[in-house]
Structure 1
Amino acid sequence: MDEKLSLNYRTALPDALRVLLEDYPRTGWTQDAGYNGLIQFWLERHMMFRDLLARLNSLCEHRLGKEIAPEIFASNLAQYGSLLVSELHGHHTIEDHHYFPVLVSKDHRLAQGFELLDSDHHLLDAHLQGFVDQAKTVLSQRAEHTNPIAAFHETVERLSDKLDRHLIDEEELVVPVLLKYGALGL
């Protein structure tokens, strides 16, 4: 794969992978006759991931500002962090092993796009492992120490940026395919 297409560098999908997006722009998705429960569910899952990262970001900011107690920070970090990691791993596993192969079969022009998304999942796994490792460090530190929290906060922001880029690109590939060809086989 071209390194420029890596999640570390890309700022959008290449034009060649946006062919269906031209016919099915984001602004019209919910009004399209093909919009269904699967698409709505998929987009809601993506919003949940974004929401969890926003909560973790806010949680770090409040702890760094000493606006919340260490035990509340730790409890919320454990809850939101474990939910994010477990749900994201499950989501990516289902996509890689079931959804993406079916979606590629619906429009082979987008095969490179689904390979790109699969590659993103592996890169995101590395970011998630760093997130987990730093969360463990933060949770094992004494409450007065803010440096591990500041470093973790930066990790949350990096993960949020990478995941958002991935989710946008995934939505812009998957939803138009589903709108055009339907959800048969999924």
Structure 2
Amino acid sequence: MDELNFDTRIGLPEALRVLLAAHPRESWQADPNFHGLVSFWLERHMMFRRIMAHMQAETRAFLEADRDAAGFAQGIARYGGMFVNQLHGHHQIEDQHYFPLLRSKESRIEAGFDLLDADHHALDGLLNRFVKQANAAIQEANGPQARSSAGTLLAGLGDLERMIGRHLEDEEDLIVPIILKHGADNLG
């Protein structure tokens, strides 16, 4: 089904947006159940977006000769490692703790949890590719293939940003309305 395909979907299918209709994004911050788990969850997602943007900016600066090789390599190693480790940890907590509990609260959108789980598996492959690209760019930062490796990394970061962005937005549209409706009690 194309509307569920991670590579091509443009948002959650309509059948999975039933709670979002009752809890649209523009109302989230005013909801009494927003502060705490929801705001923390959204802050984590924003952190992932910011780290990706930072790595893209660092890579562009290196390619434009506005960033030295050592600084570029150190920055990508630091932020890349933090990004991958934090994202893996975030997904583990979701898969093993939050999603099973939230699934039991809203069985009518159970397919949404299957969708997010499939995303997590697809993202593992993208993250593995990112690690290889980042390592190549770091190792080659002072070498003859520095620009080529950094260019490959930048292209890979663009793909990663698009795919993770799609996943994060869909996850927010599915999960946040459930927590706003039912509260975060018994989730922590």
TM-score by length of 1: 0.97
2:12–2:170 Cα contact (<8 Å) kept: yes
Counterpart of 1:95, as a letter, is E
Q: Paired residue for 1:180? A: 181
Structure-2 separation of matches of 1:126 and 1:6: 15
Counterpart of 2:171, as a letter, is E
Runs of 4+ deviating beyond 4 Å: none
Q: Which is further off, 132-141 or 152-161?
A: 132-141
Counterpart of 1:85, as a letter, is V
Structure-1 separation of matches of 2:91 and 2:150: 27
Structure-1 separation of matches of 2:141 and 2:85: 26
Deviation track 1:88-123 (CA, whole Å, cap 9, x = no partner) reads 000001001110010010010111001100100000
- The 3 A distance-change label for structure 1 pair 106 and 142 is closer
Deviation track 1:112-144 (CA, whole Å, cap 9, x = no partner) reads 001100100000010000000111111111525
Counterpart of 2:116, as a letter, is L
Counterpart of 2:179, as a letter, is L
Q: Paired residue for 1:162? A: 163
Find the residue that maps to 1:10 and give its secondary structure. Answer: coil
Q: Paired residue for 1:41? A: 40
Q: Paired residue for 1:63? A: 62
Find the residue that maps to 1:146 and give its secondary structure. Answer: helix
Q: Paired residue for 1:7? A: 6
Q: Paired residue for 1:50? A: 49
Identity %: 43
2:3–2:10 Cα contact (<8 Å) kept: no
2:51–2:83 Cα contact (<8 Å) kept: yes
Structure-2 separation of matches of 1:150 and 1:108: 44
Structure-2 separation of matches of 1:178 and 1:21: 11
Structure-1 separation of matches of 2:35 and 2:104: 20
Note the residue ranges of structure 1 that are not aligned, 5 or more in a row: none
Aligned ranges for residues 1-186 of structure 1 at < 5 Å?
Answer: 2-143=1-142, 144=144, 145-186=146-187
2:49–2:161 Cα contact (<8 Å) kept: yes
TM-score by length of 2: 0.96
- Cα root mean square deviation, aligned: 0.9
Deviation track 1:37-84 (CA, whole Å, cap 9, x = no partner) reads 100100000000000000011011000001010000001001100000
